[in-house]
């Protein structure tokens, strides 16, 4: 199964690197869990390739998250922005 490459006009951003780090997983461990090679995980993390729908679902299952928590058309704001600016919104 090879990753899908899309055009630059509608990128798909992801949180794979952050989630992998939070779970203490290497690229190899995540790759094994979703049955791809570690180079595929690296390409996905860098945004060089986009996952198929099947692969996106498998990745989300590993982390126990819905697709929109892992992949998005808009860049994800750093989590620190959400945490530190939460009190300012009150």
Q: Note whether 6 and 12 are within 8 A (CB).
A: yes
19 has a pLDDT exceeding 60 = yes
pLDDT at 1: 47
pLDDT at res. 37: 97
**H or E stretch covering 71:** strand 71-72
φ, ψ of residue 5 to 5 degrees: the values are -105, 130
| Domains identified in the chain and CATH numbers | 13-89 (1.10.260.40)
Question: pLDDT grade, residue 28 (50/70/90)?
Answer: very high
Residue 44 pLDDT:
96
Which of 61, 57, 62, 71 is closest to 30 using CA atoms?
A: 62
Per the CB < 8 A criterion, the answer to whether 45 and 16 are in contact is yes
Model confidence, pTM: 0.78
pLDDT for residue 88: 59
Identify the pLDDT of residue 46.
93
Residues 58, 35: Cα–Cα separation, whole Å: 9
């Amino acid at each position: 199964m090879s990753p899908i490459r899309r055009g630059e006009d509608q990128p798909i951003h992801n949180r794979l690197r952050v989630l992998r780090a939070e779970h203490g997983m290497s690229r190899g461990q995540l790759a094994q869990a979703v049955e791809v090679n570690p180079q595929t995980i690296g390409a996905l993390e860098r945004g060089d390739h986009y996952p198929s729908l099947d692969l996106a679902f498998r990745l989300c299952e590993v982390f126990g998250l819905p697709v929109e928590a892992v992949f998005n058309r808009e860049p994800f704001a750093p989590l620190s922005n959400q945490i530190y600016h939460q009190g300012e919104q009150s």
